[in-house]
Structure 1
Amino acid sequence: MTDILMPKATAVWLVDNTSLTFDQIADFCGLHPLEVRGIADGEVARDIRGADPIANGQLSREELDAAQASDAYRMVAQKSRHAELLKPVKKAPRYTPVSRRQDRPDAIAWFLRNHPEVTDAQISRLLGTTKATIDQVRNRAHWNSANIKPVDPVTLGLATQMELDSVVRKAADKRAKDDAKRGIVEPDGPTLEPASETGVVSHDDDHVDSQVDHHDDEDGDED
C-alpha cells in the first residue's frame, strides 16, 4: 500500500465525511482501528483539521464509492501529486572552487598533524576531497609532497570555523568514548615529580643526616 500524506488528518476527514468502517479507514491510513475509533469519539486528533484525500490526489472518487458500497472493500491510494516533494534530496558533493583545490593537500596535512582523531571520511566530507588523496598526503606519495605545508582549512577558505569546530568536536567525543570502552583514562592533572627534582626531603632523611652530623662531632672531640 502506498504511504499517504497526513494519515491522521485524512482519517479525520474520512470519519467525518464518509460511511466507511473503522477497519477500512485504518487500512487506508495505516492506523490501528482503535485509533480510528478514538478519532470518531473525539479522544484522538481532536485538534487536527481533516484533509480531503480526493482533493489532494491520494484517493479517487471511484475508490471511495466502491468502499462505501462494500465493507469488505479495501481502498488503494493513488500516488500523491506531492510525493516528489517528500523524496529525500541527496546531498551533492561539496563544491570547491578551482582556485582553492590546490590548497586541499595543505589542509589535509594540517588535519593529519594536529587532529589525527578526525577520520578520513570526515576530512573527505569537509574538504570535498577523496580518501586516495588523503592517503597520498599521509604517505608522502602526493605528486606535490615537497611543497605541502600544513595550513588550517579556515585560513585556506575551504571551510568555516563552525564547520571545523563541529568536525573536531565530534571526532574528539568519539575518541573519548572509544578510549573509555578500552579502559583508557586520561590523567586529570600533572603527575608527581621525583623528590630529587622538587627539592622535598623526607623526615627520615633529616633524621639520618642529623645522626651523621652527631657522629662527626663526636669523632672530632676524641681527636
Structure 2
Amino acid sequence: MTLPLMPQATAVWLVENTSLSFQQVGDFCGLHVLEVQGIADEEVATGIKGKNPIASGELTIENIRECEKNNKKPLILIKSSNTTSSKKKKSPRYTPLSRRQDRPNAISWVLKFHPEMSDGQISKLIGTTKFTINQIRERTHWNIANVSPKDPVMLGLCKQNDLSAAISKARRSSRWKEMQANSEIIKDTNDSGIKYGLVKKEDHIENAQSNLDNENINNLFDEIANTNET
C-alpha cells in the first residue's frame, strides 16, 4: 500500500483539521487506529508539526469532505506524475583527470593486440568515445606522434577482470569468427591470448607449427621451380 510522504505528520494534520474517523486516518497513513487515537489525545507524535496533504498534492479537499460525510469511504492518495524511477541510471565510467591523457595509449594497445574487440567494447572498457578510437585507428589523432601502445590495466584505466571478460566476449562474437579467416590477425592476437588465459598454449604451438610447415612446403615448391628453370 502506498502511503503519504510523512505518515505521522499527515495524521497529525488530519486529526487537527478534519472530522475524519480514526480508522479513516489510520488506513490512509498506515497507522493503527489506537495510534491515531493517541495522536488525538496528544500522547503520540507530540512535537510533530502537522503536514498538509492538500498542499502537497496528496489529497483533495473534495475527497476529505466526502469522507467526513461517510466514515466508510476511504481517503484516496493522489500519486504524483513526477515520481522518479527508483532504478538508477548507469553513469558513464569516470576517469581521473591525471589518467585521461593515457587513453590514446590504451586505445592503441587494444587496437593492436585485440582487434577482435568492437569500438563499443573499447569505449565502455576505457571510458572513451568511438570518435577518439577511430582517430587512433586512422592515425589522425592530434597527438598521434606521441601515442604508443600501453596496457590499460597497467595504466589504471580498467581492471584485469574487466579486460579479460571483454576479450572473452569479443571472441565469442560473429565479428571475431569472420576475422579468424585472416591468419595474420590470428598470429598477432594469440600471443596476447596466452597472456590472459584465453588461448591454450598448446593450440598456439600447434598453429605456429602448422604455419611453419606451410612455409616449408612453399619454399620447397620454389626450389623445384627454380631447378626446372635452370
Q: Classify the TM-score, shorter chain.
A: 0.3 to 0.5
Question: Structure 2 length normalisation: TM-score?
Answer: 0.45
User: Which structure has the larger Rg?
Assistant: 1
TM-score normalized by structure 1?
Answer: 0.46
